Structure 1
Amino acid sequence: MAAEIAIDIHKTFPGRATIRARIRYPVEASTVLILFGPSGSGKTTVLRSVAGLECPEQGTIRFISRTWLDTAAGVNISPQDRRIGYMAQEYALFPTYTVAGNIAYGLGHLSVSDRKRRVSEVLELFQLGGLESVKPRELSGGQQQRVALARAVAPRPQLLLLDEPLSALDAPTRIRLRGELRSLLKQLALPSIIVTHDREEALALGDVMAAMSDGAVLQVGTPQDVFSRPANAEVAKIVGVETVVQGRVLQAADSLVTIEVGEQTLTALDGPELGSAVFVCIRAEDVMLEKIGTAPTSARNHVKGIVRDIASAGPLVKVSLDCGFPLGVLVTRSALEELGLEPGSPVRAAIKAGSVHVVPRQEGN
């Protein structure tokens, strides 16, 4: 039987959505699970429940061969006995301790010589040599993050839990440390669960992702699958699919479906049990813009539209079109200039059939 993590918990809070989370996935030495969703979706509650810092009213939590929580059987293993490494969102470093003192905090069970040896090993692993006697306030944000992670890893936990590990950093540092953190997690060969609401972090760090909303887990899969093929319209909105509109299937043939969307028809890849009422989901980066009158590309879908709005999106530009349905597009600034786009401009949108993701919907939704 493959090793796995199984979480099935029910936790209530006054005035907040009830957490009803079910997640089950195979775990290997370096598997990283991403808990992804907006603020208030229940991500941190699930993480703290796994750590033993929250006590669900009902449910079970099992890690490989051990049961950490089984409310029906009266089992609730203490956080210490779960051998968890936990890193809080704000790092929670002890301000009066040195770097070495922070790392050694969870090593009280070791002899003095073994504790010093382990601190030295972790200082080297996290490239913190020379900072042993420095206090947290004297460190950069990236250094503080490494110290907090080093402290969580030092006791040799069997599972590492990270709550928004990069959110306290400025954008350039966050981007730089993203790849460093991924490499470090693989080097540690330590299964991890990471809470984040950042799409780039989820894609860069995760092997498995659970999309959450209002206390429920809506979809579990690889980050690439969840982002590119959301299970329903709610997941599509959670993962930031810019265009989610109602449609109606007109016909299906040769593994393709033709869908009426507003005043247009689109071709998409056929899916199982679609029915006639569907949601059409299109990511902004999967849409190409073409000048009216030029030869169309090989994409199956070409729809004419009018530019309604243009807004900066970091290094790119988001263009909002009215194509008989609203369509969001991301383009480079050079493409914007080449196409001569401005509010009111006519333009043609090209979309491949594989980029039109279709999910079922109930009538009236």
Structure 2
Amino acid sequence: MAAEISIDLVKTFPGRPPIRARIAYPVEASTVLILFGPSGSGKTTILRSVAGLEWPEQGSIQFVSRTWLDTASGVRVAPQDRHIGYMAQDYALFPTYTVAGNIGYGLHHLSALDRNKRVDEMVELFQLRGLETAKPRELSGGQQQRVALARAVAPRPLLLLLDEPLSALDAPTRVRLRDELRSLLKQLALPSIIVTHDWTEALTLGDVMAVINAGNVLQVGAPIEVFSRPHNADVARVVGIETVVKGRVVGSSDGMVQVSVNGTRLTAVEGESTGRDVFVCIRSEDVVLERGQATASSARNHLAGTVVSATVLGALAQVTIDCGFPLVAMVTRSTVEEFGLSSGVPVVAAIKAGSVHLVSRQGE
């Protein structure tokens, strides 16, 4: 039976907008909450408050039946008594400790025999065999990440907190480890909260997502729902991607991938391996609308559809098209007037293959 995590807090800092966070969601064994937003939005402050490393002036934090903070009742549970695993953005490994020493650091409550056994389990789980005596400086970025995760998980916490877990890695390693981290979290069956400003990580890792900006929680929901149906313009600006739909890779050739979305075919540039099931992500400014027969252009995708709605936003307009799936385009106000864009008008949406971004949704 699903329980709940509830976060309701106010935290102030001199010269900055206050953090006002209210998030509540059902949590099961492997539920991952994403705290998503730009730098300085308050994501890490919320995470550190859950960990007990920041003390909000007002509010409460509850995990299932445990109350970790309730300022009205004077409840303030110390970090070490919350049984939380925490991984900082820079990993914070002890430079003079070995891999085994770092993993075993939080296991002093165990006997030497049980501590060694637990460390060995973590070494096996996180694919660190043969590196037990290495120091952090001798490890790659990906290996350091696994050691930091192993150290956070080794004490068998109730909740795992990860602050930008992939940001310290180079781009190719980040792409490779994204799916690996998702698989590990599912395998651990450990509820987690992850801070990120990267939309691909949010889609790949998250079950629930809270969009945060200027200290406020703007929307909470499943990542694909938040990206594809932002509650308002503020959320749309933060997430930056208006079209997110589920698709399936049905073929590839000459460096291109063919994807089917509700029977509509799209061509994308072949990148890192994503598997068959993907999220298809398209920014509205990358969609060009055409009237009548598709014109000759460098765009690989010309999708026939009809206008669902056209909303004028000053000099620009947001147009939603039904082309077998809902597609959002951002055009000028003059284009709306010139093409007579209104509900039911037929159009062709041109999209370059390089503007169709595919994100793996394996492990759903």
Q: Same fold (TM over 0.5)?
A: yes
Shift of 1:241: 3.5
Read off the aligned partner of 2:306 and give its amino acid letter: R
Q: 1:297 to 1:108 in 2, by over 3 A?
A: closer
Of 343, 350, 353 in structure 2, the residue corresponding to residue 332 of structure 1 is 353
Q: Which ranges in structure 1 are unaligned for 5 or more consecutive residues?
A: 244-281, 304-318, 336-365
TM-score by length of 1: 0.72
Partner-residue secondary structure (3-state), 1:219:
strand
In 2, Cα distance between the equivalents of 1:161 and 1:330? 38
Aligned residues: 281
Q: Which ranges in structure 2 are unaligned for 5 or more consecutive residues?
A: 244-281, 296-301, 311-328, 337-348, 357-364
Shift of 1:288: 5.7
In 2, Cα distance between the equivalents of 1:231 and 1:38? 18
Q: 1:174 to 1:74 in 2, by over 3 A?
A: same
Residue number in structure 1 paired with 2:194: 194
Q: 1:325 to 1:23 in 2, by over 3 A?
A: farther
Residue number in structure 2 paired with 1:13: 13
Read off the aligned partner of 2:25 and give its amino acid letter: Y
Q: 1:334 to 1:228 in 2, by over 3 A?
A: closer
Q: 1:285 to 1:207 in 2, by over 3 A?
A: farther
Residue number in structure 2 paired with 1:90: 90
In 1, Cα distance between the equivalents of 2:128 and 2:145? 11
Deviations 1:234-255 (A, max 9, x none): 0000000479xxxxxxxxxxxx
Q: 1:331 to 1:297 in 2, by over 3 A?
A: closer
Shift of 1:17: 1.3
Residue number in structure 2 paired with 1:66: 66
Paired residues for 1:1-365 under 5 Å: 2-241=2-241, 283-284=283-284, 287=287, 293-294=293-294, 298-301=304-307, 322=332, 324=334, 331-332=352-353
Deviations 1:107-132 (A, max 9, x none): 01100000000000000000000000
Cα RMSD, aligned residues only = 2.7
Read off the aligned partner of 2:53 and give its amino acid letter: L
Read off the aligned partner of 1:324 and give its amino acid letter: S
In 2, Cα distance between the equivalents of 1:62 and 1:79? 14
Contact 1:284 1:329 in 2 (8 A): no
Residue number in structure 2 paired with 1:343: none
Q: Which has the larger radius of gyration?
A: 1
Q: 1:64 to 1:116 in 2, by over 3 A?
A: same
Shift of 1:298: 3.6
Shift of 1:324: 2.1
TM-score by length of 2: 0.72
Shift of 1:294: 3.6
Shift of 1:325: 6.2
Contact 1:285 1:331 in 2 (8 A): no
Shift of 1:331: 1.8
Read off the aligned partner of 1:102 and give its amino acid letter: N
